[in-house]
């Protein structure tokens, strides 16, 4: 009766029909455990949840959702696990494969000096990383958002909408994720110079208060009709705050573009460069199943292009007050 399921071509149609009927009647479904035992595969992918920094990243949790959605397409399920759980650090990764709880891992939140890629490579444990593998980009498989393309799109969008200059508020370049910071800035700079709309730039931490403070300084160098491209939605929110405090209407007076396409952006009517998280999730799982099947290409990375999601924050024509809760009537100056 197993042939009916697995090799339908070499079973007589009549028998096949009979078996199918019984399967339907009994509601039979093959046991994951038994299949896993026979195939020596767990059919599962591990994904580490950062329980320490919680929602520090606006994308980590939506990314998990996209992985979950993509998983069935690749005939796997996900097994999330957390820091500070029974599986601490790298040892935990090894133990999970030893137990055959998972076959491979998706690595999120990679950063420079991240010990995991090197260790997993050494242990021969398959993985695919969201974000480039900084120390050995050519040794493993990864996918990342094309940050430069994203900020370039933002600059073009602002130009199309008629904003005079595009300033930039980004991250300092000495951080862990300096490559991300660098790439996003580069995309803005190159395209803005091409279009002749490059404005001043400044950096700040990934923190609302710091972003607002920095934005205040940046806005000193701008006038109504200008715009700001930001390295993240949180920073963009800070810019909106600083602008509103100054009495500028977001949209008509100041264009603001964030990065990530986070819930924060949606809630505040912020135009944002949306990370292609569904694509990235699907790509990573594909890279993993290829590795497991032994049909993988050479190691390497793929850059996926983000898309710009327009919102009222770059709409000059609107008398926009509905979307932004900030402007106080008569507070403009």
* Whole-number Cα distances in Å, 82 to 49, 53, 131: 5, 11, 19
Binding residues for a copy of itself restricted to 98-127, rule: CB under 8 A? 98-101
137 burial level (CB within 10 Å; 0-12, 13-18, 19+): middle
| Minimum separation from the CB atom of position 99 to DNA (A) | 8
Q: Find the angle CA(37)-CA(42)-CA(48) to the nearest 5 degrees.
A: 155
Cβ nearer to a copy of itself, comparing 197 with 264: 264
By CB under 8 A, is residue 242 in contact with a copy of itself? yes
Rg of the chain taking only CA atoms, in angstroms: 24
Q: Which stretch binds a copy of itself (CB under 8 A): 7-15, 42-50, 149-157, 160-168?
A: 42-50
* Whole-number Cα distances in Å, 193 to 22, 165, 181, 263, 329: 69, 10, 18, 31, 36
By CB under 8 A, is residue 217 in contact with a copy of itself? no
Binding positions for DNA, rule: CB under 7 A:
2-3, 5-6, 10-12, 14-15, 28-31, 33-35, 37-40
Cβ nearer to DNA, comparing 18 with 53: 18
Give the x-and-dash track for 124-153 against a copy of itself (CB under 8 A): ------------------------------
**Which of 5, 16, 36, 137 contacts a copy of itself by CB under 8 A?**
36
Which residues are at the interface with a copy of itself (CB under 8 A)?
A: 27-34, 36-37, 42, 44, 49, 51, 54-55, 61-62, 64-66, 68-69, 71-72, 77-82, 84-87, 94-95, 98-101, 208-209, 212, 234, 238, 241-242, 244-247, 263, 267-268, 322-323, 325-329, 331
């Amino acid at each position: 009766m197993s042939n009916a399921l697995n090799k339908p071509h070499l079973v007589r149609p009549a028998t096949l029909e009979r078996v199918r009927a019984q399967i339907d009647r009994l509601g039979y479904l093959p046991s994951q455990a038994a299949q896993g035992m026979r195939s020596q595969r767990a059919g599962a992918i591990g994904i580490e949840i950062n329980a320490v920094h919680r929602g520090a990243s606006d994308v980590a949790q939506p990314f998990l959702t996209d992985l979950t959605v993509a998983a069935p397409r690749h005939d796997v399920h996900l097994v999330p696990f957390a820091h500070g759980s029974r599986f601490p650090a790298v040892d935990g990764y090894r133990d999970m494969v030893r137990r055959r709880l998972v076959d491979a891992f998706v690595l999120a939140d990679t950063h420079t000096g991240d010990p995991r890629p090197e260790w997993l490579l050494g242990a021969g444990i398959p993985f695919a990383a969201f974000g480039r593998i900084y120390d050995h980009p050519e040794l493993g498989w990864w996918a990342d958002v094309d940050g430069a393309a994203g900020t370039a799109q933002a600059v073009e969008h602002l130009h199309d909408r008629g904003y005079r200059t595009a300033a930039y508020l980004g991250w300092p370049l000495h951080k862990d994720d300096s490559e991300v910071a660098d790439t996003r800035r580069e995309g803005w700079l190159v395209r803005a110079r091409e279009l002749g709309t490059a404005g001043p730039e400044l950096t700040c931490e990934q923190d609302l208060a710091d972003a607002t403070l920095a934005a205040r300084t940046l806005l000193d160098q701008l006038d109504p009709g200008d715009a700001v491209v930001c390295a993240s939605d949180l920073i963009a929110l800070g810019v909106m705050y600083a602008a509103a405090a100054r009495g500028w209407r977001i949209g008509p007076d100041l264009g603001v573009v964030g990065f990530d396409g986070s819930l924060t952006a949606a809630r505040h009517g912020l135009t944002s460069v949306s990370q292609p998280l569904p694509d990235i999730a699907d790509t990573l799982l594909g890279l993993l199943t290829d590795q497991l099947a032994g049909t993988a290409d050479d190691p390497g990375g793929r850059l996926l292009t983000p898309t710009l999601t327009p919102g009222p924050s770059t709409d000059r024509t609107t008398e926009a007050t509905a979307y932004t809760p900030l402007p106080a009537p008569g507070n403009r100056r």
